[in-house]
Structure 1
Amino acid sequence: MTRTYSLAHLAQHLGAELVGDPDLVIEGIANLLTADSRQISFLSNATYQKYLAETRAGAVIIAPDLAETFAGNKLVIANPYLAYAKLTKLFSRPSSLQGIHPSAVIGEQVELGEGVAVGPNAVIGNRCVIGEGTIIGPGTVIGDDCKVGKFTRFAANVTLYEDVIVGDECLIHSSAVIGADGFGFARASDKSWVKIYQLGRVVIGNRVEIGATSTVDRGALDDTIIGDGVKIDNIVHTAHNVRMGKNIAIAAMTGISGSVDIGDNSTLSGGVGVVGHISIANDVHITGMSMVSATITEPGSYSSGTVLAPTREWRKNAVRFRQLDSLANRIRSLEKALQKHDLS
């Protein structure tokens, strides 16, 4: 079903200044090049300003300093990208799940809040508490003694092991696994491995989003903690006893080793690796494919690794990299020789 809104309604929703026809009906959102007269677009990057002249969008969300460059209907607001983000919720597809599907399995002593929906073949274990308005997708399994807040949504085939806590207004995507055992083993005298049973929990705050096929392991003794407002992309691994602060964003293919503390508002780009038992300060940005091998105490942007280069050039650089230690020793020898020469 198509959702429609007047331009006046959208302006009021965003707190934006409306310039143009308040009664214009908007049916969706699109980029400047593909939008038609029934859609709204946005300009958040000056690089795309050149497309304003040719856009067929019914209206454009635009910043005050660029508003005069567009003659059509517009919503003028300081942060067009944030405004666009807020509008996407209005036009998103709502879940069609309602009620408890006959094939769902509900355990004993389960508390379901008002308006909870449980899809086909979903399983809720014993003694779980599920908050008002929460949606549990098809095939999702929630283990014994879990607690889930209000208006949280689990997509299809999510797995929560026992004793997991998930807050309000979270979104957990398909095939995410929350609360599996952390990777803990002790080496025996015969070199075999003895399992360390993981006795902690996973505690997830409010407004957290966890992407498809991502995993969050339970703590060994203490809990693994994901703070309020954290956003985790697809295929991210969070090991046992990790503690994340608030409003952290982590891109795909990142691996976070055990007992890492990550401060508020930090961001980890794609493919980042983090070694265990270190801390990352608040407001840190780690660029893609970096390896974090030591504690970071100051906010700022950090990088590691080598940048892309033509293969022939990269191979030469790789050879030079292997020679760095010997080159440093040669430079020291030359410096000592020069000092002796100057003294003589």
Structure 2
Amino acid sequence: MNQDARTLTLDEIAERLGARLEGDGTRRVSGLATLRDAEPDQVAFLANRAYLKDLPGTRAAAVLLAPGHAESCRVARLEMDNPYLGYAGLSRLFDPLSGRTPAGIHPTAVVADDVRLGVEVAIGPQAVIESGVELGDEVVIGPGCVVGADTRIGPGSRLHANVTVCHGVVIGARAILHSGCVIGGDGFGFAHDGARWHKIAQLGGVVMGDDVEVGSCSSIDRGALGDTLIGDDVKIDSQVQIAHNVQIGDHSALAGCVGIAGSTRVGRHCMLGGGVGLSGHLTIADGVQVTGMSLVTNSILEPGIYSSGTGAMDNAQWRRNAVRFKQLDDIAKRLARLEKAGRSG
């Protein structure tokens, strides 16, 4: 970002974040950086104790931190009980995309005659908006995007370059769809006659709530009959696959490379770590956290933290453990016989 494009005083930052300022509120800053890299015209933050060692020597104009870390800070302080949440707000203050994109339709865009546009809509170069589409106020459609027929996109939503939204999709307000993601592609549905596969037409759609964000190159498939449902405030990382008729509850978050098979229901406030796989037709309760690289093959009906798989280890040790794993059933049977013999004796 051009550091001259936006400057704020520390007083203005404190007011917008709801932070308590200790220091010169008239000092102006123009950016955000780490404790180690910050310049005197930037704000730094401390949200992880691992970086506490960098606090005394920072050159930042001010540091956003928790009150308990104030003693080691030698510059102005912006104190908040949850500094990581404050960092999220601070980052948006200096985000070059946070300003309004100039409204208008680029001359190379193709927009059907019956498309309904809200006020201040921006449609970029080479975008294609098909018949029956409705775009809400201040929607931004990036270069090369395709929005399929009869799709509705809520106000304040932004599609970055080369997003594909297929026909009959409903997207709520303030959605952010990153480059390369596909919303509403066909689900993986085929019937086999013993010799070859026959495609099952996917007749449902995708319905997304408000404040949803989808990372680059992620896919959310349309339903086979009913709709695939994504709740409000769901956050989906890059390269995630969500199959047909999946339902994801409000405020859940999915890290990179998660894969969810068809018709599985994920509850509210769930967190799925990177590389998690969920089998089809499962139910995951509200408040479930599944750690990275876990495979879930049965429903989880109680909130909590769940894990599967093993961490990386020396190959020779892994090979020995793999042999022992194959022996577990025999060991369990032998142990049961010994316990039974012990009780009989």
Which TM class, normalised by the smaller chain length? Answer: over 0.9
Q: What do residues 134-154 of structure 1 show as CA deviations (whole Å, max 9, x unaligned)?
A: 100010000000000001000
TM-aligned CA deviation for residue 87 of structure 1 = 1.2
The correspondence of residues 108-257 of structure 1 with structure 2, limited to 5 A, is 108-188=113-193, 190-257=194-261
**Corresponding residue for 2:30?**
27
Q: Secondary structure at the match of 1:321?
A: helix
**Where do 5+ consecutive residues of structure 2 fail to align?**
none
Q: Work out the CA distance in 1 between the residues paired with 2:57 and 2:74.
A: 11
Q: Work out the CA distance in 1 between the residues paired with 2:83 and 2:339.
A: 58
Q: Work out the CA distance in 1 between the residues paired with 2:206 and 2:265.
A: 15
Give the superposed CA RMSD: 1.2
Moved more, 316-325 or 42-51: 42-51
TM-score, with normalisation over the residues of structure 1?
0.96
CA contact (8 A) 1:97 1:119 kept: no
**Corresponding residue for 1:317?**
321
Q: Give the aligned residue type for 2:61.
A: G
TM-aligned CA deviation for residue 97 of structure 1 = 5.4
TM-aligned CA deviation for residue 240 of structure 1 = 0.3
**Corresponding residue for 1:74?**
77
Q: Work out the CA distance in 2 between the residues paired with 1:326 and 1:160.
A: 53
CA contact (8 A) 2:19 2:78 kept: yes
CA contact (8 A) 2:67 2:79 kept: yes
Q: Work out the CA distance in 2 between the residues paired with 1:140 and 1:37.
A: 40
**Corresponding residue for 1:45?**
48
**Corresponding residue for 2:96?**
93
Q: Work out the CA distance in 2 between the residues paired with 1:165 and 1:106.
A: 18
Asked whether 1:106 is paired with 2:108, we answer: no
Asked whether 1:62 is paired with 2:65, we answer: yes
**Where do 5+ consecutive residues of structure 1 fail to align?**
none
Q: Work out the CA distance in 1 between the residues paired with 2:63 and 2:158.
A: 31
Q: 1:13 aligns with which of 13, 16, 25?
A: 16
Q: Secondary structure at the match of 2:310?
A: coil
TM-aligned CA deviation for residue 108 of structure 1 = 2.8
Q: What do residues 62-101 of structure 1 show as CA deviations (whole Å, max 9, x unaligned)?
A: 1122223313101111111101101111111127554100
% identical aligned pairs: 48
Q: Work out the CA distance in 2 between the residues paired with 1:149 and 1:11.
A: 31
CA contact (8 A) 1:166 1:203 kept: yes
TM-aligned CA deviation for residue 333 of structure 1 = 2.9
CA contact (8 A) 1:97 1:135 kept: no
TM-aligned CA deviation for residue 260 of structure 1 = 0.8
Q: Give the aligned residue type for 1:149.
A: G
Q: Work out the CA distance in 2 between the residues paired with 1:191 and 1:283.
A: 44
Equivalenced residues, count: 340
